[in-house]
Amino acid sequence: MAVAETIASSGFPLGFRIRKGSRRPAVVAGTAGSDVFKVEARHFTGNHQKEAVVSEGNHGSAWRMVSDEGVHIKGDDLAPFPLGFFNAGLQADVANRLLFAARTQGIALDDVKIHCRTGYSMTGAFFRGDGVGYAEPAKIAVAIQSSATAATIAALVAAAVRASPALAAMSMPVENAFAIYVNGKRRAVTTMPDAGGADAIDPLKTYASVPSPLAGANTLPDLILKTGQKREGVPALAVPAAAPGQRIVRDVAGTCHTTRDGATNTDVALQLPGMSHFSIRSDESTADRAPSGLALISAGIAFCYMTQLSRYIDYMKYKIRHVRLVQFNPYVFDGTTGSIEPVATHLFLHGDEPDETHEKLMRISAVTCFLHATLKAALTPEVTVTLNGAAL
């Protein structure tokens, strides 16, 4: 990972497979089981460009993805923003569980489209140390074309929502844990839940060179793509702090289309003037042609946290560099209901600041991270369904 320092310098696509798994994880395949998705991520030199390798459990494939932020927070707008990955992952997980349940029950779905809005806000200012991030329940609209009855479709969607570990990441509050390594040595965590357990392996040691696409991977084309479409208006720099009694609001909108072979394609954009649209593809079939929805939300959580880390380092002018992390995301499916267990984040830093400054950075970034706020909250999704154009 020490060679390429920007998204563009490697010349690689924005998303690709680096390792072929022997089988898809149980939580993806629709069978009872539990799997831990591992994210190994690092921050590129400058701005908000980031790279992550997401391994889908012990036996699944590993996917390399990159993320960036828009120009509103001084990003380069080269790849999907972290909240876009999360939005796309929610939709992909629900869509694929819906398709799986329909196939299992012999219900024909002629067309499935999903629209999802996710909302976030922040009070205070993270660089003052009083910033707090918040998340809102996802608003999900499912549009289905089918000859099945309204009662059948309503039950099918309800089952898919219940089965989704991705939606459980919003509705089930979990207390996440952390570990920190400074200049190659693990330090005690004193102000946050300690992850405990064995040391994680520094991504800089795991990847001696930049992860490259697996030859003959047989994946879907353009797994992650900047579409060229932008929202109307001129982007403006975000205000650095919320006014007293007010919040900085961020809304994300995504629309997911499914293909007849079970893949999904989500177009997603931050709802601010001039923001770019990105296309993110997913596949949860046995063909294993794209990351699963759970892989996408895992990447989004890591990317969002790293954005807050880099912003705080920049504002405070800390002498901290080489930011990377290993994140463990445990997902469970019991055959009917999906769930999530606490996420453990192992943060690796190099710097010339005292240990308490490194932990302060870790803590404030977690408190202001929109997706860590999502994990901590109980956010029941608001789901609406239409069948052949009629609301159920």
Q: Please state, in angstroms and rounded to a whole number, the distance separating the CA atoms of residues 11 and 24.
A: 28
Q: Please state, in angstroms and rounded to a whole number, the distance separating the CA atoms of residues 216 and 199.
A: 34
Amino acid at residue number 272: L
Per DSSP, the three-state class of 304 is: helix
Q: Please state, in angstroms and rounded to a whole number, the distance separating the CA atoms of residues 350 and 369.
A: 21
Residue 215 has pLDDT above 50, yes or no: yes
Q: Please state, in angstroms and rounded to a whole number, the distance separating the CA atoms of residues 286 and 291.
A: 12
pLDDT of residue 46: 67
Contact 147, 382 (CB under 8 A): no
Q: What is the CATH number of the domain that holds 251?
A: 3.30.300.20
Q: Enumerate long-range contacts of 270-273, CB under 8 Å, 24 or more apart.
A: 270/70, 270/81, 270/83, 270/84, 271/231, 272/70, 272/72, 272/231, 272/233, 272/235, 273/231, 273/232, 273/233, 273/234, 273/235, 273/236
CA nearest neighbour of 350 among 377, 389, 320: 320
Scanning 19-61, the segments in alpha helix (DSSP H) are 26-29
Q: Please state, in angstroms and rounded to a whole number, the distance separating the CA atoms of residues 347 and 370.
A: 18
What confidence tier does 202 reach under pLDDT thresholds 50, 70, 90? very high
Q: What is the pLDDT of residues 74-131, one digit of tens each?
A: 999 999 999 999 999 999 999 999 999 999 999 999 999 999 999 999 999 877 888 9
pLDDT of residue 347: 98
Residue 343 has pLDDT above 70, yes or no: yes
Q: Please state, in angstroms and rounded to a whole number, the distance separating the CA atoms of residues 227 and 90.
A: 20
pLDDT of residue 229: 98
The answer as to whether 7 is a domain residue is no
Integer angstrom CA distances of residue 114 from 16, 77, 269, 308: 24, 25, 15, 29
Q: What is the pLDDT of residues 137-175, one digit of tens each?
A: 999 999 999 999 999 999 999 999 999 999 999 999 999
First to last CA, the chain: 50
Per DSSP, the three-state class of 242 is: coil
Total domains in the chain come to 1
| Percent of the chain whose pLDDT exceeds 90 | 89
Integer angstrom CA distances of residue 70 from 106, 223, 237, 270, 291: 43, 20, 9, 9, 23
Q: Which of 40-44, 165-169, 209-213, 260-264 has the lowest mean pLDDT?
A: 260-264
- Residue showing tokens 């932020």: 69
Q: Please state, in angstroms and rounded to a whole number, the distance separating the CA atoms of residues 390 and 392.
A: 6
Kindly state the tokens that stand for 1. 């990972």
Residue 277 has pLDDT above 80, yes or no: yes
Domain that holds residue 52: 15-391
Kindly state the tokens that stand for 379. 């956010």
- Residue showing tokens 């996408």: 296
pLDDT of residue 241: 83
CA nearest neighbour of 12 among 206, 203, 211: 211
Mean per-residue pLDDT of the chain: 94
The answer as to whether 293 is a domain residue is yes
For 360-388, what is the mean pLDDT?
97
Q: What value, to the nearest 5°, has the Cα angle with vertex 384 and ends 261 and 88?
A: 50
For 227-232, what is the mean pLDDT?
97
φ/ψ (deg, to 5) at 201 = -95, 130
The answer as to whether 383 is a domain residue is yes
The answer as to whether 9 is a domain residue is no
Sign of CA dihedral 155, 162, 291, 80: positive
